[in-house]
A and B are shown apart, each in its own frame.
Chain A
Amino acid sequence: MGFLDSLIGRTRLPKSNEDKIFAMSTAMLTLQTSAELQPGTRIGIVFRSLPSGRFQQLNRDTVEMLKLQDKSAPEDSLKVNQVKDDLGFQWLVVDGPEFESVLAAIHAVAMGLLDEGLGDCLLAAVFPFQLSGRPVYWIYGYKEATFYPFVPNGDHRRDNAEEIRLAAIAKEDLPVETDMERWYAIWGVPL
């Protein structure tokens, strides 16, 4: 929002930016070795409700694309699930044996939406991890083009100390969000 936008009261959603998401593939090693995080096999991408029918089509397209991309992989190793959460946001959850191809699929979904002029719908991509048995998430916010950690600790409570520790470890490899007021919580991650 520029000065003029606020002066005349114009709301414009910030443009989504998915360029930085690949930083996660280089940060993977650090997160596993230094932060002792166990990566999951899935990545979820969450967006505000798409026009009717578009979500189902996106799902089909993603499955097709994964098949083309990874011909060697067994037919059922790559899975795409669609979830609608309680807040009316839609999730596409991609699951596969190889992190790189799952990330590429998420990238392709985001870019497809951007190319269609549906980029405003993009909210975040969620990378699940395990830290000594409990879930830890790294979230990529498309509006800020930054990553931030999210460690749920019971009902609507966050383990802020752990989040700050993770952010400190990852800040060399990931564009970590510096403004902690933008570490938006995403409760009930369907991953």
Chain B
Amino acid sequence: MLASREAQPVRTGPGPQPLGLALGELSANGYIRDIVQRKLGSDRGLTLRMALTMFLLAVVYLIFVGVLLLMHIGIATIVVVVAVLLAAQYYFSDKMVLSALKARMVTPQQYPQLYDIVGRLAQLTGTPMPKLAVIPSQVPNALATGRDPKHAVIVVTTGILNQLDPKELEAVLAHELSHVIHRDVKVMAMAGFFATVASLIVQSGMWFGMFGGFGYGGGGYGRGRNSDQGEGMIVIILVAAVVWAISFVLIRALSRYREYAADRGSAVITQEPSQLASALQKISGTMSRIPTQDLRQMQSANALMIFPAVHVGKGSLAEIFSTHPSLEHRLAKLRDLESRISS
């Protein structure tokens, strides 16, 4: 998007002289690199791990496709089916997620503060204003979806709006906006393509195995050929199962790295990683159990509001986020970022 902007000359014009700061480093386009971005630097380890994961995934997929081609298996149908399914899922990701989570789009009049915060973040990052949706749920959570920044939707629960203070909310929204900027929906859709093909082969193979039986083709004529095909089918299903298992682990790892990257993005945007750390602690429930309300007020207040039941069950939001790194790891990374900024 904005990277394509033409190079700017180094500024030497009139104006106040830089005050008391030793400067030097120029970025590629001639500007002095921003202090915070310079301090944060780049996480080489994370970049390497992410690149390695994607490389391994590509290798697994190439082997998979290679085996399928070698065995002359007509998987064109299944690939086309998966491509259509995933394309639809990718294209309608925003609408599907919204309907699955019972989220509803909200207007600036309904949630002025939410719109104000996201508006400023979007302007700071040069991202088109995302659409905003709210889930009426006390479980504090937030997510971003949509195939590209133009179709991005950021979803929050009423729980997170109630529990976090504005700075923490800003940090969480910056994390979600980073997912949008990193095009995580696109990246994860691509990463999952052949894993979906493999899982479909395994599932349809099992179905086929249960009802049709492998190998023995029935009549005497052409029995050998059918038998060969049956054995081939078993190999394919085994290969697909292995590909499925390996790619599942790799995709989960990739997902966690994308989370770290979004945490880092939030730090770059807000410059306050400690706010995200605080928000994460609250969301995970460690802080929400410390009562902030006056004991006298608590008598009349609904106890459920102060001790929200964070319930990890089927279809709950927490399940969707099971692809995240542990809280401890995320907090450690954020502490590291915080110490870099304040140094």
Contacts and interface: CB of A to CB of B under 8 A. Distances in A.
Interface in B255-298: 257-258, 261-262, 264-265, 268-269, 271
Given A61-B16, A181-B128, A13 B120 contact: no
Contacts of A7: 54, 187
A101 interface: no
Interface stretch (A26-34, A90-98, A117-125): A117-125
Contacts of B313: none
Given A14-B126, A143-B125, A155-B112, A111 B261 contact: no
Interface string B81-97: 00000000000000000
Contacts of B264: 9, 11
Interface stretch (A72-80, A129-137, A182-190): A182-190
Contacts of B124: 13, 48, 120, 123, 143
B176 interface: no
A14 B35 contact: no
Interface string A97-141: 000000000011001101111111001100000000000000001
B126 A143 contact: yes
27 contacts: A1-B2, A1-B181, A1-B182, A6-B183, A8-B51, A9-B46, A9-B182, A10-B47, A14-B5, A14-B125, A15-B5, A15-B8, A15-B27, A15-B29, A48-B271, A87-B117, A87-B120, A111-B16, A115-B16, A115-B23, A116-B35, A118-B35, A119-B32, A119-B34, A157-B109, A184-B122, A184-B123
A141 B11 contact: no
Interface SS of A by simple majority: loop
Contacts of B210: none
Given A114-B31, A124-B123, A6 B182 contact: yes
A13 B270 CA distance: 11
A123 B182 contact: no
A13 B166 contact: no
B21 interface: yes
B32 A114 contact: yes
A173 interface: no
B110 to A, nearest CB: 9
Interface stretch (B36-44, B63-71, B230-238, B323-331): B36-44
Given A11-B265, A120-B36, A182-B122, 16 more contacts: A7-B187, A9-B264, A13-B37, A14-B5, A15-B5, A61-B16, A108-B16, A111-B11, A115-B16, A115-B17, A115-B32, A118-B35, A143-B125, A144-B2, A186-B119, A187-B112
Contacts of B19: 57, 61, 116
Contacts of B181: 1, 6, 11
Interface residues of B, number: 67
A1 B50 CA distance: 18
B261 A112 contact: no
Nearest to A15: B31
A179 interface: yes
A123 B268 contact: no
B18 interface: yes
A120 B116 contact: no
B123 A13 contact: no
Contacts of B78: none
Nearest to B109: A156
Given A9-B182, A112-B18, A114-B11, A179 B128 contact: yes
A135 to B, nearest CB: 17
Residue among A9, A111, A118, A185 with the most chain B CB within 10 A? A9
Nearest to A139: B123
Contacts of B122: 182, 184
Given A9-B265, A11-B268, A124-B123, A115 B128 contact: no
